[in-house]
C-alpha cells in the first residue's frame, strides 16, 4: 500500500481590527515543509506589505521543523496597535480606612450615634480638599496593516469611581472634590459626603450662636442662645441657656434651660428646673434625673428618677402636640423680620429704579445694588417657604399619641404632676417602677407597675 505524504500547512488570518496577522504553522508529514517565502506570499495575498515580522516567522518555522509540533497564533505581521486609555483613579487626602468606618454607636443604645466618639480628624472646614482625582486617558489610535491605512480607535479610560454626595462639590478644574460646609466626612461605598456639624471645644458664655447642622459641645455653655439645624450633643453643663434644635438632643447636665426640639431628648445625668418641649420622647442613657421645671414630650418619657426627696414641684406632660404652637410663633416672628427686611431694602432701592439713574452708576455701586437685589430675592423666597410650612402644618393630620406613656424606671417623688393628654394626677407619695398612661375614656391617668405593663 502506497503512503500519502502530506505537506506542511499555513493558516494565517487577521485579528478583529486588522492591526495584526496571526498564523498557525503545521508540520509536514513526509511532504514539503512550510517555507518563509510561503508565508510572505500568503501575506501579500492578504494585502499586507509592511509590518512583517521576519524573525518571528523564521523562528516559528524552525521550531515546527525541529519539534514536529505546530506553532499556534504566531504574530507574523503587525501594524500600530491602539494604546487603550487608562482608567482614572482616586487619591484620598484623608485616611481612606478611617473614612470607611461606620459612625460610632452608643453602647447603651445601638440606634443612636455616640457623637463624642467621632474621629475629630475627619471634621473639616469649608473648602477643604477631600479627594484628588486623577483623570482617565483617552489612549492613542492604532493603524491597520492593509492599504489604505486606517485608524483603529482606542478605548478611553473610565472616570474615577467616586461621586460627590451631600455638601461635596467638584472643583472648577475637575481635579478635586471639595467640602462645601463644615462637618464630618463620610465615605459610603463610592460616595463621599459631609455630615454638617461643628465641634466646639471652648466654654460658651453669653453668646448667641447658630449652627447649620449639628453641634458637639465639649465644654460648658452658660447664659447663651443656641440654635442647631440638626442635633445637639453637650458633654458639659448647660446653665441658663435657650436651646432650639431640629434633631435629637443629648445632655448630661442642664439647669434652668429652655429646650425645644423636633427630635428626642436623651439624658445621661440630671436636668433641673428646665422648660422642655420635645416632639419625640425623653429617654435616659444610664441612671438619670429630672427635677423641677416642666417637661412636655409628645410621645412619652422614660426616666429613672422624677422629682426629688425635697418635693421640688415637677411637671410632665405627654400625649399631645406641644411643638406646633411653638413653631407657629417662630414662623410669625421670622415672617415679621423678613418682611421688615424686604421693606427696608425696597426703600433703599427706590431711587435707583429708573434706567437713566442706573446707567450713571459706577461699577462698585452697581455691584452693591445687585447685592441688595439678591438679598431682597432671598428674603422673598424665605417668606414663601415660611408661608408654605405654616399652611402645611394647618393641613396635616394630628399624630397619634395613644401609645404615649411615662415610664419610671426608678422612683417618682411627691409633688410631681403627671399629665396624659387632658387628664392629670399629682403624686402624693413615692412610687418605684411605675407606668402612667391614659385611662379609659381619657378623663383620668392610669398608674400601673412596669412589670404589669410589660
pLDDT tens, residue by residue, 65-97: 999 999 999 999 999 999 999 999 999 999 999
> Residues 71, 97: one domain?
no
How far is 349 from 315, CA to CA, in rounded Å? 52
The pLDDT confidence band at residue 37, using thresholds 50, 70 and 90, is very high
Give residue-wise pLDDT tens across range 41-73. Answer: 999 999 998 899 999 999 999 999 999 999 999
In the predicted model, is pLDDT for residue 137 greater than 50? yes
* Residue 428 φ/ψ, nearest 5 degrees: -105, -20
> Residues 43, 122: one domain?
no
pLDDT at 2: 42
pLDDT at 446: 94
Give residue-wise pLDDT tens across range 306-332. Answer: 999 999 999 999 999 998 888 888 888
How far is 283 from 250, CA to CA, in rounded Å? 10
What integer is the mean pLDDT of 419-425?
95
Residue 98 lies in a domain: yes
Asked if 183 contacts 197 with a C-beta cutoff of 8 angstroms, the reply is yes
In the predicted model, is pLDDT for residue 220 greater than 70? yes
Q: For residue 415, with 0-12 CB atoms within 10 Å meaning exposed, 13-18 middle and 19 or more buried, which class applies?
A: middle
State the first-to-last Cα distance of the chain, in angstroms, to the nearest integer: 102
The 8-class DSSP code of residue 310 comes to T
> Residues 95, 63: one domain?
no
The pLDDT confidence band at residue 367, using thresholds 50, 70 and 90, is confident
Residue 279 lies in a domain: no
In the predicted model, is pLDDT for residue 241 greater than 50? yes
pLDDT at 35: 92
> Residues 119, 159: one domain?
yes
Domain final residue pick, 192, 207, 223: 192
Give the helix, strand, coil percentages of the chain, each rounded to 5. Answer: 25, 40, 35
Tally of domains within the chain: 3
The pLDDT confidence band at residue 6, using thresholds 50, 70 and 90, is low
pLDDT at 391: 83
Range with lowest mean pLDDT among 5-19, 187-201, 288-302: 5-19
Look at residue 254 and give its three-state secondary structure.
strand
- Percent residues over pLDDT 90 in the chain: 78
Residue 450 lies in a domain: no
In the predicted model, is pLDDT for residue 193 greater than 70? yes
The 8-class DSSP code of residue 244 comes to E
pLDDT at 1: 33
In the predicted model, is pLDDT for residue 355 greater than 60? no
The pLDDT confidence band at residue 3, using thresholds 50, 70 and 90, is very low
The pLDDT confidence band at residue 396, using thresholds 50, 70 and 90, is low
Look at residue 175 and give its three-state secondary structure.
coil
Domain final residue pick, 78, 104, 133: 78
In the predicted model, is pLDDT for residue 352 greater than 80? no
Domain final residue pick, 52, 78, 104: 78
How far is 301 from 401, CA to CA, in rounded Å? 12
Residue 32 lies in a domain: yes
pLDDT at 427: 95
pLDDT at 49: 84
> Residues 118, 179: one domain?
yes
> Residues 58, 99: one domain?
no
Residue 47 lies in a domain: yes
Give residue-wise pLDDT tens across range 156-192. Answer: 999 999 999 999 999 999 999 999 999 999 999 999 9
> Residues 101, 130: one domain?
yes
- C-beta neighbour count of 358 within 10 angstroms: 12
In the predicted model, is pLDDT for residue 290 greater than 80? yes
Residue 204 lies in a domain: no
> Residues 148, 119: one domain?
yes
> Residues 70, 114: one domain?
no
> Residues 188, 94: one domain?
yes
In the predicted model, is pLDDT for residue 280 greater than 50? yes
Residue 434 lies in a domain: no
Domain containing 130 equals 89-192
- Percent residues over pLDDT 70 in the chain: 96
What integer is the mean pLDDT of 126-153?
93
> Residues 69, 97: one domain?
no
pLDDT at 363: 83
Q: Is 7 or 184 the better-scoring residue by pLDDT? A: 184
In the predicted model, is pLDDT for residue 256 greater than 80? yes
Tell me the average pLDDT of the chain. Answer: 92
Residue 42 lies in a domain: yes
> Residues 101, 174: one domain?
yes
Q: Which has the closest alpha carbon to 229: 214, 249, 209, 251?
A: 214
Amino acid at each position: 500500500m502506497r503512503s500519502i505524504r502530506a505537506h506542511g500547512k499555513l493558516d494565517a488570518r487577521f485579528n478583529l481590527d486588522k492591526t495584526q496577522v496571526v498564523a498557525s504553522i503545521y508540520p509536514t508529514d513526509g511532504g514539503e515543509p512550510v517555507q518563509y517565502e510561503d508565508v510572505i506570499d500568503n501575506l501579500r495575498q492578504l494585502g499586507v506589505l509592511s509590518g512583517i515580522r521576519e524573525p518571528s516567522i523564521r523562528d516559528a518555522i524552525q521550531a515546527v521543523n525541529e519539534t514536529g509540533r505546530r506553532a499556534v497564533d504566531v504574530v507574523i505581521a503587525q501594524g500600530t496597535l491602539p494604546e487603550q486609555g487608562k482608567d482614572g483613579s482616586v487619591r484620598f487626602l484623608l485616611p481612606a480606612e478611617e473614612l470607611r468606618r461606620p459612625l460610632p454607636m452608643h453602647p447603651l443604645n445601638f440606634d443612636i450615634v455616640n457623637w463624642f466618639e467621632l474621629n475629630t480628624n475627619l471634621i473639616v472646614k469649608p473648602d477643604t480638599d477631600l479627594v484628588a482625582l486623577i483623570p482617565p486617558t483617552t489612549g492613542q489610535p492604532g493603524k491597520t496593516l492593509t492599504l489604505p491605512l486606517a485608524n483603529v480607535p482606542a478605548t478611553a479610560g473610565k472616570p474615577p469611581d467616586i461621586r460627590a454626595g451631600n455638601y461635596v462639590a467638584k472643583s472648577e478644574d475637575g481635579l478635586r472634590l471639595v467640602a462645601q460646609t463644615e462637618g464630618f466626612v463620610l465615605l459610603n461605598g463610592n460616595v463621599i459626603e459631609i455630615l454638617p456639624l461643628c465641634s466646639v471645644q471652648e466654654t460658651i458664655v453669653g453668646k448667641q450662636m447658630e449652627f447649620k447642622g449639628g453641634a458637639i459641645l465639649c465644654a460648658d455653655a452658660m447664659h447663651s442662645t443656641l440654635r442647631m439645624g440638626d442635633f445637639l450633643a453637650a458633654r458639659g453643663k448647660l446653665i441658663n441657656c435657650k436651646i432650639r434644635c431640629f434633631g435629637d438632643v443629648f445632655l448630661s447636665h442642664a439647669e434652668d434651660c429652655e429646650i425645644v426640639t423636633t427630635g428626642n431628648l436623651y439624658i445621661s445625668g440630671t436636668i433641673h428646673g428646665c422648660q422642655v418641649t420635645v416632639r419625640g420622647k425623653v429617654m435616659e442613657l444610664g441612671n438619670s434625673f429630672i427635677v423641677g421645671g416642666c417637661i412636655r414630650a409628645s410621645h412619652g418619657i422614660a426616666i429613672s428618677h422624677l422629682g426629688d426627696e425635697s418635693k421640688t414641684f415637677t411637671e410632665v406632660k405627654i400625649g399631645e402636640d406641644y411643638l406646633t404652637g411653638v413653631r407657629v410663633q417662630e414662623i410669625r416672628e421670622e415672617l415679621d423680620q423678613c418682611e421688615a427686611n424686604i421693606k427696608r431694602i425696597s426703600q433703599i432701592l427706590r431711587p435707583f429704579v429708573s434706567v437713566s439713574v442706573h446707567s450713571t452708576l459706577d461699577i462698585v455701586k452697581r455691584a452693591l445694588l445687585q447685592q441688595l437685589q439678591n438679598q431682597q430675592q432671598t428674603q422673598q423666597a424665605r417668606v414663601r417657604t415660611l408661608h408654605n410650612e405654616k399652611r402645611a402644618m394647618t393641613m396635616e393630620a394630628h399624630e397619634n399619641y395613644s401609645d404615649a406613656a411615662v415610664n419610671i424606671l426608678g422612683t417618682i417623688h411627691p409633688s410631681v404632676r403627671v399629665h396624659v393628654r387632658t387628664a392629670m394626677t399629682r403624686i402624693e407619695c413615692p412610687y418605684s417602677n411605675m407606668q402612667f398612661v391614659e385611662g379609659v375614656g381619657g378623663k383620668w391617668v392610669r398608674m400601673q407597675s412596669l412589670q404589669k405593663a410589660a
